[in-house]
Amino acid sequence: MSAPTTNQSGTPSGNRSGNLAAAAATSPRRAATTVRRLRGSTTATVYLVLVVVLIACAVLSALAGRSFFSPGNLSALLTATTVLGFVAIGQTLVILVGSLDLSVPFLVSLSSVLAAGTMQGSPDAFATGVLVALVATTVLGLVNGVLVGLVGINGFMATLGVGLIISGYLFTNYQGSTGQASPQLVSLGSASIGFVPVLSIVLLAFFLGTAVLLTRTRTGMHLYAVGGDPHAARLSGVRTAAPVLLAHALSGLFSGIAGLVIVARLGVGSPGVGGQGGYDLLSIAAVVLGGAALAGGRGSLWGTLGGILIFASIDSLLGILEVNPYLKDVVRGVVIVAAVAVYARRKGLSSIVRFPGGPTRAAIDRGGAETADPGPVNRSDVEVGPIAAHPETTGRSGR
């Protein structure tokens, strides 16, 4: 009778509990390395495309007798990215856990009318208006999370339903422009350092903070794990509903901030401003252009930022060339289809199953060992053990 094989930790592969404990003890550094492989494979490609787009924009603008990199145009470009940028941060988190948020344009509109209606131009109501808007949108985002993560409704349908409810409330109770922004908010909306708007700097700070959440914390690892395969994550002791709740709540929060940005610039709130901006589909397009997988488990905030800048650069060029505004959607569609086609060809996104088969006995026995047979999985894309079995679950999954 042959002796039982052992994995790298020295635990017999036949001892299921021992191997679960070994998998759960995987170092945070290795888990972070795996996440970087998941999110970083297409980010460099996105920024290479961005450089090419910027060069093309500069050349075409010069042929039209304009300067694409003039301070005025760069300031306008950065201003155009701010609202979509905040919405896209939340949309990235939601897509990472394998969901979607179609309620974001309605949350943006709700935030704008609540903030402006509460402030009514009064300096003393600035903090109250901001608080009311952000609490309302965060709570509604949490409702989305409950419907998706706890009730089990598909993210597309749940957020669409919530969005329609908010839309009905808005257009029933608000007609046209509403309220007035406080002087502090208006000053923030017009402030700049050189040609860089202050709100763009605030946006970058939120990108940095959220990137740290995704790449340096257990919560971030769980977002990737649940989006990749909730069954494997659950087997490893991760509470799969919690990341979904958090992602949708943060999406609501960032949509609320986007609404405040609009009020800061327009000075008033509007029940239709979010829908007019098309922030639901544009944010999803920016995330996909940034290299994220709509199925969840793969994506990068920095890729999303690159996607936003690509869209903003193209829109700016079309404005300089005085092209029919409706052609923007045509160009955006071509860019999205081309980008997804390139990603599918390079990474095999159309055929690779990131976490196939769920939590099988063989996957448990491997415990994330480097020498294990990966089967059909592309090992540059995923390692089930290190992500699903995060340090928070140490000792839990072995019971």
Residue 175 maps to a domain: yes
Residue 51 maps to a domain: yes
Residue 386 has pLDDT above 80, yes or no: no
Residue 370 maps to a domain: no
Residue 103 maps to a domain: yes
Q: How far is CA 221 from CA 30, 69, 291, 392, in A?
A: 11, 39, 18, 10
CATH at residue 188: 1.10.3470
User: Mean pLDDT over residues 359-374, rounded?
Assistant: 43
Residue 34 has pLDDT above 70, yes or no: no
Residue 194's closest CA among 354, 329, 71, 355?
A: 71
Phi, psi of 192 (to 5 degrees): -155, 160
Least confident of 92-96, 201-205, 255-259, 321-325: 321-325
Q: How far is CA 153 from CA 137, 164, 207, 246, in A?
A: 20, 16, 29, 16
Number of domains into which the chain is organized = 1
Residue 369's closest CA among 384, 350, 391?
A: 384
> In residues, how long is the chain?
399
Per-residue tokens: 219: 């919560």
Range of the domain at 88: 34-350+375-393
197-232 residue pLDDT tens: 999 999 999 999 999 999 999 999 999 999 999 889
Give the DSSP per-residue string, 52-86. Answer: HHHHHHHHHHHHTT--TTSHHHHHHHHHHHHHHHH
Q: Is the pTM value of this prediction over 0.95?
A: no
The CA distance from 197 to 160, in Å, is 33
Residue 15 maps to a domain: no
Count the neighbouring beta carbons within 10 Å of the beta carbon of residue 380.
11
Q: How far is CA 172 from CA 35, 143, 168, 325, in A?
A: 45, 21, 6, 30
